[in-house]
Amino acid sequence: MQLIDGKATAAAIKKEIAEEVERIVAAGGKRPHLAAVLVGHDGGSETYVRNKVLACEACGFESTLIRYEDDVTEAELLACVDRLNHHDEVDGFIVQLPLPAHISEQKIIEAIDYRKDVDGFHPINVGRMAIGLPCFISATPKGILELLQRYHIETTGRKCVILGRSNIVGKPMAQLMMQKLYGNATVTVCHSQSTDLKKEAREADILIAAVGSPAFVTADMVKPGAVVIDVGTTRVPDASRPKGFRLQGDVDFEQVAPLCSYITPVPGGVGPMTICMLMMNTLAAGKKEIYA
Ligand code: NAP
């Protein structure tokens, strides 16, 4: 069994990005600039945004953090999106989700100029991804593809089973894994209404779990020699940790790891790659590589 080290891979990619940024700047170009909009004080969102700002520093990007309280109106947030859409210095931006219930996330996502949508959530980017056109690919599935590629894991013609069908992980992952250009695999997607999920999972050469249920994937669901990618990150109470919780993946790591050819740990697997891919998208936005 080989551990897929997302932390080390992400660090190497950030170094590559930082080197490229310095080359761009030395040649008289502009540093890529990412803006992040954070609403409220949700602990998870605060951490994600802080880590995104730190990643920008590591990559040599400019970054701007725009904060609103929970009671910001949808109209105020839409006005902020509009300003960022027209801000010449900002190459790409994100609005950290989730948003408070009185704000339509879909409305906000659709208001973002798709050419600055480095999260890849805008329907234009999602649609272009689905038909294999250049676009911003959302960070988590892009990070998983990058890990598979960097570990030289063959995906062509293999059976890939994805657990979960969310818009941010399961669905784009399935699209990417089935496409000739990316995974070129045979793809099955399972969800809460799948009748025999265990059987489907057991047939997977590559099993990608994005359910959000700790230790959901047990040893009897994994074919010996399979590649297992654990996207799940659930905070479970843990009094022995300084923060009072630890992150738990969707895979019962202790049981499953010995069976696998490759497996991602939680933490340190898919998570660090997600922010790193946001940086890759921001670099592409800065270079106007996808949309002029
Ligand atoms: P989500 O929107 O809640 O979707 C979960 C999916 O799992 C749904 O499709 C749901 O089915 C399915 N599901 C839930 N319980 C199930 C069960 N008992 N049996 C079969 N299917 C079940 O979650 P998400 O946003 O995709 O995130 C999934 C996990 O990945 C979470 O732990 C999240 O924190 C983590 N995540 C990590 C990263 C990272 O960077 N590492 C990024 C994004 C998400 P239905 O559609 O039928 O409801």
pLDDT tens digit sequence for 57-86: 999 999 999 999 999 999 999 999 999 999
Q: Locate the domains of the chain by residue range.
A: 28-116, 139-271
Mean pLDDT value across the chain? 97
Ligand 1 atom showing the smallest separation from residue 275 Cα: 40
The mean pLDDT value for 38-59 works out to 95
Long-range CB contact pairs, 193-196, < 8 A, 24+: none
Tokens of 269: 């697997």
Active site residue 96: yes
The mean pLDDT value for 232-258 works out to 96
The reported pLDDT for the residue numbered 124 is 98
pLDDT band at 292 (very low <50, low <70, confident <90, very high): confident
- pLDDT surpassing 90 at residue 46: yes
The mean pLDDT value for 15-42 works out to 98
Give ∠ CA 151-156-161 in degrees, rounded to 5. 85
Q: Which of 5, 91, 117, 119 is labelled catalytic?
A: 119
Ligand 1 atom showing the smallest separation from residue 191 Cα: 21
Ligand 1, atom 47, lies closest to the CA of 192
pLDDT band at 28 (very low <50, low <70, confident <90, very high): very high
Distance CA(97)–CA(7), nearest Å, equals 23
Active site residue 171: no
pLDDT in tens, 183-231: 999 999 999 999 999 999 999 999 999 999 999 999 999 999 999 999 9
> In this structure, what are the phi and psi dihedrals at residue 189, rounded to the nearest 5 degrees?
-115, 130
Q: What percent of the chain has pLDDT over 90?
A: 99
Ligand 1 atom showing the smallest separation from residue 250 Cα: 32
CATH code of the region 28-116: 3.40.50.10860
The reported pLDDT for the residue numbered 224 is 98
Tokens of 230: 């654990």
Ligand 1, atom 30, lies closest to the CA of 232
What does DSSP assign to residue 251?
B
Give the right CATH number for 139-271 from 1.10.10.10, 3.40.50.2300, 3.40.50.720, 3.40.190.10.
Answer: 3.40.50.720
Active site residue 52: yes
Give yes or no on whether 28-116 and 139-271 have one common fold: yes
The reported pLDDT for the residue numbered 199 is 98
Give ∠ CA 98-103-143 in degrees, rounded to 5. 30
Place of tokens 């659709």: 110
